[in-house]
Structure 1
Amino acid sequence: MSIYISKQLREQIRASDRQRCCYCLTSEVNSGIPMTFDHILPVSKGGETNFENLCLACRSCNEFKSDTTEVQDPVTDEIVPLYNPRTQRWIEHFYWSEDATKIEEQTAIARVTIIALRMNNAVIRAARLRWAIALWHPPSDML
């Protein structure tokens, strides 16, 4: 199912999200892969197509997220919501490993989001290493 997103709203989201995935911070410029528009609360669960509920996501994060909004935390066994890039700040939940290839958690929200979206898979970690060597990564202006 394709949802219509106006050109004006697409441009607003691209500018706000700095042309990068709001989950793993992969840059469209660095990766060369166009970002997708993610419904934070999926349409299938009542989410609307507006700025507050849309963000840029790389294909990997978007596909693994699918219509998931919460996940059981393997540490506490509690049901925890995924990170919401419109209502939460990235740096309050996540941080970069010393070599900048791995996203680490500061909170349960980050932990379940990293797991559910597979934000540290081998392919993206190898790409992050190359970007870090080129001084393109990590982003200096965290969300």
Structure 2
Amino acid sequence: MSRPWLSEQIQAEVRQRAKGLCEYCHASEQWQYVQFTIDHIMPVVAGGSNDIDNLALACFHCNRRKGRSQAALDSESGETVQLFNPRCDRWRKHFRWSEDCLRLIGTTPIGRATIEALALNRERILGIRAADYAVGRHPPSEDISPIHPN
């Protein structure tokens, strides 16, 4: 099956809107060796479109782990819930950083299920976060600034 084609303009708009961050794990594309991918939030095979409102910037790992999934199990409640949707969910409502800023903590069923399904606290990303933290590149400033309405 061929991948849906996205124009360079659409890809640039997605990157700009995401401010260069993976919209799931909040890794910065700027410090990675591989360019991030464009994720279809609702997969094309499930009826999703190439419309910019269905696209999110995702690091390779998050995009691969998410795949065609749209829901996952929240281990705390035992319920299957929708995965985090960067177009309609606010990141800071569902996630926060641990005190040492290395681990993501899910504050809602959506956050917990997304962390588990996408392995957002995998060993490799913890090492990257620790190295970035040591040089002041992590966490992203918008993740720690005061919460604003909207």
Given the two structures, how large is their TM-score scaled by the length of structure 2? 0.92
5+ residue gaps in structure 2? Answer: 144-150
Q: Structure 1 residue 59 and structure 2 residue 65: aligned?
A: no
Higher-RCO chain (CA-CA 8 Å, sequence separation at least 6): 1
How much has 1:9 moved relative to structure 2? 0.9
Cross-structure match for 2:142: 141
How high is the sequence identity, in percent, across the aligned residues? 37
Look up the equivalent residue of 1:2 and give its one-letter code: R
How much has 1:11 moved relative to structure 2? 1.1
Cross-structure match for 2:48: 47
How much has 1:72 moved relative to structure 2? 2.1
How much has 1:40 moved relative to structure 2? 0.3
Given the two structures, how large is their TM-score scaled by the length of structure 1? 0.96
How much has 1:32 moved relative to structure 2? 2.9
Alpha-carbon separation, structure 2, partners of 1:81 and 1:90: 14
Cross-structure match for 1:29: 30
Describe the superposition over 1:88-107 as per-residue Cα deviations: whole angstroms up to 9, x where unpaired.
Answer: 11111100111111011110
5+ residue gaps in structure 1? Answer: none
How big is the alpha-carbon RMSD for the aligned residues of Structure 1 and Structure 2? 0.9
Q: Structure 1 residue 83 and structure 2 residue 84: aligned?
A: yes
Alpha-carbon separation, structure 1, partners of 2:21 and 2:34: 10
Alpha-carbon separation, structure 2, partners of 1:2 and 1:32: 23
Runs of 4+ in structure 1 deviating by more than 4 angstroms, as ranges, are none
Q: Structure 1 residue 109 and structure 2 residue 110: aligned?
A: yes
- The DSSP-based 3-state class of the residue aligned with 2:141 is coil
Cross-structure match for 1:128: 129
How much has 1:4 moved relative to structure 2? 0.6
How much has 1:140 moved relative to structure 2? 0.2
- The DSSP-based 3-state class of the residue aligned with 1:141 is helix
Cross-structure match for 2:147: none
Alpha-carbon separation, structure 1, partners of 2:33 and 2:88: 28
Greater shift in the superposed pair: 131-140 or 6-15: 6-15
